[in-house]
Structure 1
C-alpha cells in the first residue's frame, strides 16, 4: 500500500488535481473535511466502491489513518490505484493550522 503524510498530501493537492476520498462516516465528514473530498463512508464502501473509476488514482483519508488504510486494502484488492493519507484529518488540521 502506498502512503503519504497529510503534509505531503497538502503539497500534492496544491500542485495537481487529485481525487480525495474521505471514508469517515457522514456526520464526521459534515463536521469538517478537506475541501474537494468526496465522502465514501467505510461502512458503505463494500457497495459504493462501484461508483469509482478504476482508471482514476485516489487518495484516501479518515480521522487518524486506520480506516483509510483498511479502505485502501479493500480498494487495492478490487483493482484500484490508491494512496493512504497517514495521520488523516488529525494531521491535516495540524498542518493547516501552521
Structure 2
C-alpha cells in the first residue's frame, strides 16, 4: 500500500524543513511553469529512475494521479516514497 500525505500536512512539513526530498513527476513543461523550490524533476514518462534507498521522497504531480502511480512503482522497487495528495493544483506555498 502506498503511503500518502495531505497537501496541508505536507505544506506544514515543508515550512519546517525545506531540505526534504521532493520528486515532481509532471512533464518538463509543467515543471517549468512552476514548482516547489528544491523539487527535483523526474517526469513519470522517464521512469524507471534510480534514487537513494536511504532517503524518503515526497512525490508530487498536478493533482495526485501520476504521483500515486509513481509511488506504486517506486514502492515495488524498495524506495520509501509518500504521495502528496492534491498535487500542485492544491499547493498554496512558494513556487519558482
TM-score normalized with structure 2 length: 0.91
Unmatched tracts of structure 2, length 5 or more: none
Give distance in 2, aligned partners of 1:96 and 1:15: 13
The alignment's C-alpha RMSD in Å is 1.2
Give distance in 1, aligned partners of 2:22 and 2:5: 12
| Corresponding position of 1:9 | 10
After superposition, residues 66-81 of structure 1 pair within 5 angstroms as 66-81=65-80
Give distance in 2, aligned partners of 1:31 and 1:14: 22
| Corresponding position of 1:96 | 93
TM-score normalized with structure 1 length: 0.89
Unmatched tracts of structure 1, length 5 or more: none
| Corresponding position of 2:22 | 20
1:38-60 CA distance string (max 9 Å, x none): 000000022xx12x101110000
| Corresponding position of 1:33 | 35
Runs (4 or more) in structure 1 with deviation over 4 Å come to none
Number of matched residues?
92
Q: Classify the secondary structure of the residue corresponding to 1:72.
A: helix
Q: Classify the secondary structure of the residue corresponding to 2:47.
A: helix
